[in-house]
Amino acid sequence: WGPAPAGLPGHPPCLLLLSSSGFAASAARGRGCTRLSPGTGRRAEAEYVVDAELGRLLVKSRGKPGQLKTSVCPISLIQDIYTIDDGEDCFRGEIMEHLSAEEKARFFLIQYADGSPGAGYANLCLMETSRSARVELLQHLHDLVIHWSAPRPAP
């Protein structure tokens, strides 16, 4: 994945990414995607927003009629991101059985710490609009993970 780009003096790298990357700007405004249930592969139209300033990924999708489901993934708590390149055995349940070869190329799973002591991990299963968009998103998240995981200077 490589190192995160250096920021300009007085500008954190994540803000530089927002200003220099068309994809990052698009992700900050919100991008449509498909959310999949980790066990069953059930699909829902969704939108994600990468909030680089607050260090979080928001995913909003419709659940039962009239219900909006929002997941908040703190970027610093992302443990791993899996794609088909990692092998189908990285995905549990029936999820891969419900995806075509083209959809598998756009699919990814984000595993992140729940944030509560002893709570374990949560998973977000998403499908981007294209393989290239998936690659750009994962690179953007990788750069932000590096930024948000770095030690912060004392005030």
Check if the beta carbon of residue 76 is closer than 8 Å to that of residue 145: yes
Which residue in 100, 114, 126, 115 sits closest to 37, CA to CA?
126
- Say which range, 16-20, 50-54, 83-87, 96-100, has the weakest mean pLDDT: 16-20
The string of pLDDT tens digits covering residues 16-27 is: 444 446 898 999
The string of pLDDT tens digits covering residues 62-83 is: 877 778 889 999 999 999 999 9
